[in-house]
Structure 1
Amino acid sequence: MGRPPLPVGTYGQITAKRDGSRWKAWCKYRDTDGHVRKVRCWADTKAKAESKLRERLVDRQSVSGQIKVNTKVVVVAERWLAEFRDQVELGNRSGTSLDTYEHRWRTLVKPRVEGLSIGELSAGQIDRVLQGLNKEYSASTAKTARAIISGLCGLAVRHGALKTNPVRDARPVENGKRRRQSRALTADEVLDIFVKVDGDETARRQDLPDIMRFYGGTGERTGEAIAVRWEDIDFDEKVAWVEGNMVRTKADGAKINGGKTRTARRGVALADWLVTMLLDRRARVAAESGVEPQELTGWVFPNSIGGLRETSNLRRDWRAFRERHGIGDWFTPRTFRRTVATLVTDALPAREASDLLGHSRVSQTTDTYVGRGSVSRRPAVVLGVLGRSNGGTKGAPRSTDDTV
């Protein structure tokens, strides 16, 4: 006879073990819908992980009923996070977003509101929390906190505990610091970087020359390039298909997700020089593996033992290369993405660059990724027509800039 199911609102045995440098505690919990789900917590010690898990279980047990005006904010937040976890499991939300929200809630937001009921969480109270976080930490941190508070207040509105979401009436989070311009490379600067990385023995051992060229030739995100497989490259059509993005979350570890946006899955046309580089790389790897190049499968840019490369390790190697060659900390893998956006939009309609980069909006490409600050002669050429108008200065020489 099978083991009887857990009663609704109860949990099973708590288990704890090391997870890297931290401890993870977890157990099975049967929710009000009858489904049994894992509840997990991480901490620096076994005892802290188990204690944190028990606190979460108490909060979870208290969220089973209807949210009312006197329900504690911490209870509503745990229920909202539980719903967010369900959406992550369904693939509708990002696991990295869940990690960020849980951490910010636990360390920054919860201590500032844990004595309040949801009915006491007024626009003024929320405003004080957000402006305080902005002043003490950053606008980015305050905006994340705003998203958390807005989410749990929205849940309270759906339950009838609040009539409107008070976050709407709190002041916007303003960034007091001047936003740093996007830094893109010129074509000559890119070629200079390639010369430096080719001549760096450590960088060659870490596979940075080919990786940098792939970033420079495709503009792919860091995780997208790490996730590319030989099966994703159509050498006849000269296209690399972006099928996923490498991410790491506490719940699932390293995995390939479906991409950051609905347009993330796409084909990226490859320049001839990049096709040649990839063909040479495939031939070399195939010879080392003892297979025909056409039969080669697996990661194009694996780690040292052939597995999935970690983005954190790539960024570590990148920082070390940057320091060895005296390049500023602005130079990251994303710099090539900005460079591609800038070079393409200088020559083609912005929609071409947006499609190439997998952005859902053209404005994201032009506002965030296109490098600024370079002086273009093209506007002056266009405005040259004003010097040939009837109202122009008599005898003024005709502009020789007749093409754009």
Structure 2
Amino acid sequence: MARPRLPVGTYGKISAKKDGSSFMASCQYRDVDGRVRKVRCWAATKAAAENKLRERLLDRQIGSGQIKPDTKAVVVGEKWLEEFREQVDLGNRSGTSLDTYEQRWRTLVRPRIEGLSISELTAGRVDAIVQTINKEYSASTARTVRAILSGVCGLAVRHEALKVNPVRDARPVENRKRKKPARALTADEVLDIFAKADADEIAQRQDLADIMRFYGGTGERTGEGIAVRWENIDFGKKVAWVEGNMVRTKADGAKINEGKSANALRGVPLADWLVDMLLDRRARVAARQGIRPEELTGWVFPNTLGGLREASNLRRDWRAFRKRHGIGDWFTPRTFRRTVATLVTDALPAREASDLLGHSRVSQTTDTYIGRNLPSRRPAVVLGVLDVAKNGSKTAPRSESKNPRP
């Protein structure tokens, strides 16, 4: 009876023998193309040669797409990151997400699973890792770690090294801290900040006065405002077209991506006062370049050399402005985005604000971006219909109870 063939991605018995001054360990390995090949390794001792061969066979399995239950968890993690990088190159994933995952993997996840095989990443171990990070760092960091572990274990499931993804049975991440309400500005506070920027020579030199007005009039994301070009502004229709978002990644440096969601690429209607500001700015910039305003192209808010402004540099200038004028650290470029969401939803349906901000869901606008620090009087006005004296109701007075509540 013929000997049964090795399954694809597996190897036969390892043998070792003396080969000159060292030992050679070898075995038969069946590759993904179905062919059986001999694999050899040499070392000073028999045990060392056999262990070296086992490591090479494991690398060969991983390289050929084979993940086994005894494959090291860190090896599977590296393969998952490699696949994520490929998706970034194809434009299916965000480069900033890759940077975050790589940093969390290197500093938080890998050290905690260094000695485990993928089959030893049980729901209990995953839960312990995630909950410990939640306690020592934050809920946001713990959720990122959970997402990484889910991706790694999901890859193992697809290779049939695990039957189920253990992350799904781990406890969800609970935020121990009460979430602070979104901080939005009132219209008077916005005008006061504009006035401070107008009177601040440093802010004028850094373009902060115009940038703040643009964010205050559009609610655009920080990177979207940086990426706006003169060609994207239709002064006739009073619309600024958002065609990208400035991001910086380790792989590509500063670049313009297509936005955070399908709704990110959109037209933003401009108020008359903002159109006037942009027209004045365009005229001043064109005059310095010796061209007609209509011929001006390029970034609306460039850096000092005329190139793409860095978000980190804008935030640095913003912090310095904040410090000069005694404004709290809650005031960031995103504060204007929350302010726009709040002012618009106070007067219009939430869908209008959601479309303006480029959110994929209205709930994202209402739950995250609307400032709730100032109660509206409109509900109280509506409930005025219950005013007994005003409406002349003949409702009988409440009878005295024998056992009144305290």
Q: TM-score range by the shorter chain?
A: 0.7 to 0.9
Report the counterpart of residue 125 of structure 1 in structure 2: 125
Report the counterpart of residue 178 of structure 2 in structure 1: 178
C-alpha distance in 2 between matches for 1:212 and 1:308: 17
C-alpha distance in 2 between matches for 1:140 and 1:330: 19
Q: Report percent identity of matched pairs.
A: 79
Contact 2:182 2:368 in 1 (8 A): yes
Contact 2:286 2:296 in 1 (8 A): yes
C-alpha distance in 1 between matches for 2:367 and 2:228: 27
Report the counterpart of residue 286 of structure 2 in structure 1: 286
Q: 1:290 to 1:362 in 2, by over 3 A?
A: same
Contact 2:385 2:391 in 1 (8 A): no
- Partner amino acid, structure 1, of 2:236: D
Q: 1:390 to 1:328 in 2, by over 3 A?
A: closer
Query: Are residue 74 (structure 1) and residue 74 (structure 2) matched?
Result: yes
Describe the superposition over 1:315-374 as per-residue Cα deviations: whole angstroms up to 9, x where unpaired: 000000000000000000000000000000000000000000000000000000000121
3-state SS of the aligned residue for 2:322? Answer: helix
C-alpha distance in 2 between matches for 1:377 and 1:255: 45
Contact 2:350 2:366 in 1 (8 A): yes
Report the counterpart of residue 52 of structure 1 in structure 2: none
User: Number of matched residues?
Assistant: 341
TM-score, with normalisation over the residues of structure 2? 0.81
C-alpha distance in 1 between matches for 2:72 and 2:278: 57
- Partner amino acid, structure 2, of 1:130: V
C-alpha distance in 1 between matches for 2:392 and 2:132: 57
Describe the superposition over 1:231-287 as per-residue Cα deviations: whole angstroms up to 9, x where unpaired: 000000000000000000000000000001111000000000000000000000000
C-alpha distance in 1 between matches for 2:327 and 2:129: 39
- Partner amino acid, structure 1, of 2:272: D
Gaps of 5+ in 1: 1-31, 34-57, 397-404
TM-score, with normalisation over the residues of structure 1? 0.81
- Partner amino acid, structure 2, of 1:86: E
Q: 1:240 to 1:391 in 2, by over 3 A?
A: closer
Superposition map of 1:4-403 within 5 A: 62-387=62-387, 393-394=393-394
Contact 1:63 1:75 in 2 (8 A): no
C-alpha distance in 1 between matches for 2:395 and 2:143: 59
C-alpha distance in 2 between matches for 1:81 and 1:317: 35
* Aligned-pair Cα RMSD in Å: 2.1
C-alpha distance in 2 between matches for 1:285 and 1:118: 59
Q: 1:273 to 1:333 in 2, by over 3 A?
A: same
C-alpha distance in 2 between matches for 1:109 and 1:392: 69
Contact 1:59 1:74 in 2 (8 A): no
- Partner amino acid, structure 1, of 2:306: G
C-alpha distance in 2 between matches for 1:65 and 1:208: 52
Report the counterpart of residue 21 of structure 1 in structure 2: none
Describe the superposition over 1:149-176 as per-residue Cα deviations: whole angstroms up to 9, x where unpaired: 0011111111111121111111111111
Gaps of 5+ in 2: 1-31, 34-57, 397-406
Contact 2:243 2:266 in 1 (8 A): yes
C-alpha distance in 1 between matches for 2:65 and 2:283: 62
Contact 1:246 1:255 in 2 (8 A): yes
Compare CA radii of gyration and give the structure with the larger one: 2
C-alpha distance in 2 between matches for 1:389 and 1:359: 46
